């Protein structure tokens, strides 16, 4: 039972002050009031300490007790995280609903990880082995196919003195004993880790493997590497959440952590209802078997919203330490920044630009810095890839959260209101977006598909950039004023936009494209462009090329050719060659 360390003297929403013990630690986890609401110490001055409370404080009065725990705000780590749905401070929402109904009562305390469930455990160490932080002690089957590697806590080390037989154990049962000096310690499958402290690793490694999302504009034009960080800024209704849903569904990461941070309740409800029924395209099993959901909607306590980001990234780092690739979706970091701003205001701190606290940039940097492809303490290699949505008010990319985010990420997917209004999805503007991972992943593409992806990608971007310039002229003088060679550029760019960049997340065939399908589609459009330019030089007019039947085929191929029917592209290529050669013969 925790001891009383102080008495409330001041209350302002989620921020309270108490007077009492001088032994309270910064960032210590405390319990406030008789209902023991969870809070965290965020300020110290003499015998007065300031607490950020993660629950609703309405009705609380000065004089209420504050209890100390002596621990920092931490998450529980162990088998049972996958398939779980938590709030921002890792309270299991399904258990809360079962116990309390649709609304969380104040002071609700539930174990984040089930203490009763038994997991099949296979030891991988033997008596006499020297172990250190990160060493894999054994395997617990978290699902029928997912191996949860049970590791020594990063702060522990010693000599194994006892291991159990293969069998079924709960997370609190001993699964090893280690001796350090004269002390013997029992190890269990359950760990705790402070959320604001990054988990340790040996070294960062270079990023050279792309995170394949199945979204053509992302994979081929603006790839993010495993261990990288990407931002998706965009105005309301431009498709940030749907894009993140698609990445979460189809990305080739082994674990997905999805944080709904301050988003509307109905959006999060869709995620919670949809994800349990989704099928993993790689193995045909439920997608939830490799997913952790953290739901902290806009009507939940604002301080817990601020904590949810750290809860999610700590869980992601835990699976990274096992040697897995993890993709973390944060939707949205703007709502998290707004929570920082609200708490900062109640602390009466000096505001910086647009009312955000002066430390907004450093907090964003701390978050995105926790992405990375690393060599773990157990010498495995793992990665955490962060994809953070940003919701700038009115779509203004010059506002502080977007601008600071751009400083700390290397991949920027700018959503465009005009594209979403034109029903072009994903509404990612190819002229405003960029990726600094292109050169790093080029060798992977060459090895994987055996084609010059980088050359084709750069040629396509040149065509799209030229189209933007020519479109300005067309608006002034009309398309007929352009020579046919430039109108051919407009035609090819239309095929790139409508046939490749546009993708229907609701279409069974088009929702996900393998890299082999993507590169063949791009290859065919550029092949069409090359032949078209040759014929135009011989005197052909653009209208006859535009009217070729194969043009519609190129636009429809994304829906007509499934990922396992790539031989159909050979037929389309033959159609291009045949129709172009017939035209060529007319102008020879």
| Segment 15-43, tens digit of pLDDT | 999 999 888 999 999 999 999 999 999 99
Q: Report which of 264, 234, 244, 236 is spatially closest to residue 401, judged by C-alpha positions.
A: 234
Cβ pair 35, 65 in contact under 8 A = no
Residue 1, pLDDT above cutoff 70: no
How far apart CA 81 and CA 318 sit, in angstroms, is 10
Residue 272, pLDDT above cutoff 90: no
Cβ pair 294, 306 in contact under 8 A = no
Residue 475: the pLDDT is 85
Q: End-to-end CA distance of the chain, in Å? A: 92
451-587 adopts what CATH topology?
1.10.1140
Domains 3-71 and 451-587 are alike in CATH topology: no
Cβ pair 125, 105 in contact under 8 A = no
Q: Show the tokens assigned to 63.
A: 């004089």
Choose between 227 and 271: higher pLDDT.
Answer: 227
* Averaged pLDDT, 540-564: 94
Report whether the peptide linkage leading into residue 426 is cis, meaning its omega lies within 30 degrees of zero.
yes
Q: Show the tokens assigned to 21.
A: 């013990």
> Percent of the chain scored above 90 by pLDDT?
75
| Segment 393-446, tens digit of pLDDT | 888 899 999 999 999 999 999 999 999 999 999 999 999 999 999 999 999 999
CATH no. of 203-438: 3.40.50.300
Residue 27's region, left for phi above 0, alpha for psi from -120 to 50, else beta, is left
DSSP-derived secondary structure letter, 47: T
Q: Report which of 14, 36, 31 is spatially closest to residue 71, judged by C-alpha positions.
A: 31
Specify the CATH architecture of the domain 114-189: Beta Barrel (2.40)
Cβ pair 430, 456 in contact under 8 A = no
Greatest alpha-carbon pair distance for the chain in Å reads 95
Q: Show the tokens assigned to 499.
A: 């046939």
Q: Report which of 198, 196, 223 is spatially closest to residue 211, judged by C-alpha positions.
A: 223
How far apart CA 441 and CA 209 sit, in angstroms, is 6
> Percent of the chain scored above 70 by pLDDT?
98
Q: Report which of 438, 498, 510, 503 is spatially closest to residue 464, judged by C-alpha positions.
A: 498
| Positions of E strands within 402-482 | 411-412, 434-435
Residue 495: the pLDDT is 97
Residue 121, pLDDT above cutoff 80: yes
| Segment 512-546, tens digit of pLDDT | 999 999 999 999 999 999 999 999 998 888 899 99
- Confidence grade of residue 481 (pLDDT, cut at 50, 70, 90): confident
Cβ pair 267, 242 in contact under 8 A = no
Q: HSE-up of 417 (CA within 13 Å, CB side)? A: 10
Q: What Cα–Cα distance (Å) separates residue 259 from each residue in 143, 294, 312? A: 22, 5, 7
- Confidence grade of residue 463 (pLDDT, cut at 50, 70, 90): very high
Question: Which residues touch 364 (CB under 8 Å, ≥6 apart)?
Answer: 333, 337, 401, 404, 405, 407, 408
Pick the CATH number of 3-71 from 2.60.120.10, 2.40.30.20, 2.40.50.430, 3.40.50.2300: 2.40.30.20
- HEC readout, 55-97: CCCCCCCCCCEEEEEEEECEEEECCCCCCCEECCCCCEHHHHH
Pairing of strands 381-390, 229-233: parallel
Question: Which residues touch 54 (CB under 8 Å, ≥6 apart)?
Answer: 14, 37, 38, 39, 40, 88, 89, 301, 303, 304, 307
Cβ pair 298, 332 in contact under 8 A = no
**Domain segments of the chain as ranges:** 3-71, 114-189, 203-438, 451-587
- Beta pairing partners, 178: 160, 185
- Its sign, for the CA torsion 469, 470, 472, 473, is positive
Residue 348: the pLDDT is 86
């Amino acid at each position: 039972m925790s001891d009383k360390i102080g008495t409330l003297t001041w209350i302002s929403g989620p921020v309270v002050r108490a007077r009492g013990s001088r032994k309270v630690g910064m960032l210590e986890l405390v319990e406030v009031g008789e209902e023991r609401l969870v809070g965290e110490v965020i300020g110290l001055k003499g015998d007065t300490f300031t607490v950020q409370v993660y629950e609703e404080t309405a009705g609380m009065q000065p004089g209420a007790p504050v209890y100390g725990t002596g621990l920092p705000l931490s998450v529980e780590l162990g088998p049972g995280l996958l398939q779980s749905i938590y709030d921002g401070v890792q309270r299991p929402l399904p258990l809360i609903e079962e116990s309390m109904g649709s609304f969380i009562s104040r002071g609700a305390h539930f174990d984040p990880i089930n203490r009763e469930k038994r997991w099949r455990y296979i030891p991988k160490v033997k008596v006499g082995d020297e172990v250190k932080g990160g060493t894999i002690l054994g395997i617990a089957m978290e699902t029928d196919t997912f191996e949860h590697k049970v590791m020594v806590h990063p702060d522990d080390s010693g000599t194994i003195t006892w291991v159990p037989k293969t069998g079924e154990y709960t997370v609190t049962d001993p699964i090893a004993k280690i001796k350090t000096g004269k002390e013997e310690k029992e190890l269990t499958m359950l760990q705790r880790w402070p959320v604001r402290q990054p988990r340790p690793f040996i070294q960062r490694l270079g990023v050279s493997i792309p995170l394949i999302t199945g979204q053509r504009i992302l994979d081929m034009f603006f790839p993010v590497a495993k261990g990288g960080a990407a931002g998706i800024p965009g105005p309301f209704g431009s498709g940030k959440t749907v894009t993140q849903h698609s990445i979460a569904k189809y990305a080739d990461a082994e674990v997905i952590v999805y944080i709904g941070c301050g988003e509307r309740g109905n959006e999060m409800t869709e995620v919670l209802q949809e994800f349990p029924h989704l099928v993993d395209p790689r193995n045909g099993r439920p997608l939830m078997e490799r997913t952790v959901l953290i739901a902290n909607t806009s009507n939940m306590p604002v301080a817990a919203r601020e904590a949810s980001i750290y809860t999610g990234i700590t869980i992601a780092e835990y699976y990274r330490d096992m040697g897995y690739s993890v993709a973390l979706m944060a939707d949205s970091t703007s709502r998290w920044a707004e929570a920082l701003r609200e708490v900062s205001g109640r602390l009466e701190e000096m505001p910086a630009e647009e009312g955000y606290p002066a430390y907004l940039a450093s907090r964003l940097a701390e978050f995105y810095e926790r992405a990375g492809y690393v060599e773990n303490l157990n010498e495995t290699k793992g990665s955490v890839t962060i994809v953070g949505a940003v919701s700038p008010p009115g779509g203004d990319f010059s506002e502080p959260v977007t601008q600071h985010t751009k400083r700390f990420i290397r991949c920027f997917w700018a959503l465009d209101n005009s594209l979403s209004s034109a029903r072009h999805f994903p509404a990612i503007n190819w002229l405003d977006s960029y990726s600094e991972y292109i050169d790093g992943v080029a060798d992977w593409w060459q090895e994987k598909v055996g084609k010059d992806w980088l050359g084709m990608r750069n040629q396509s971007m040149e065509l799209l950039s030229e189209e933007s310039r020519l479109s300005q002229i067309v608006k002034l003088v009309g398309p007929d004023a352009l020579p046919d060679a430039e109108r051919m550029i407009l035609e090819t760019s239309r095929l790139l936009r409508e046939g490749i960049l546009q993708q229907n997340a609701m279409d069974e065939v088009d929702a996900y494209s393998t890299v082999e399908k993507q590169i063949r589609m791009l290859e065919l459009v550029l092949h069409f462009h090359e032949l078209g330019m040759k014929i135009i030089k011989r005197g052909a007019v653009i209208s006859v090329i535009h009217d070729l039947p194969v043009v519609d085929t190129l636009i429809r191929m994304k829906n007509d050719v499934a990922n396992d029917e790539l031989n159909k592209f050979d037929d389309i290529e033959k159609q291009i060659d045949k129709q172009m050669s017939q035209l060529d013969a007319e102008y020879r």
